[in-house]
Amino acid sequence: MSARNFFRSAFDSMVEARQRQVNRYVNGVLLSFDDETLKAHGYNREDLRKRGVSTIAF
């Protein structure tokens, strides 16, 4: 594997991990809304919980 491919792969992995972290944080914030608001924006409380939740800001 060339050095360029190694660094590209490492960068892609870091971005993907960060995206998962952000998604968990956003899910946690969305869960603070009432069910009516969630439904109006196309979210379901149970689905958000299944996707994972983090209450700690990065």
pTM of this structure: 0.76
Q: Where are the domains of the chain?
A: 22-58
The per-residue pLDDT for range 1-53, each reduced to its tens digit, is 688 899 999 999 999 999 999 999 999 999 999 999 999 999 999 999 999 88
* pLDDT of res. 47: 94
Sign of dihedral through CA atoms 47, 51, 52, 57? negative
d(CA 52, CA 58) in angstroms, rounded, equals 15
For the cut 90, the answer to whether the pLDDT of residue 57 exceeds it is: no
Nearest Cα to Cα of residue 13 among 25, 26, 21, 57: 21
* pLDDT of res. 1: 64
For the cut 90, the answer to whether the pLDDT of residue 56 exceeds it is: no
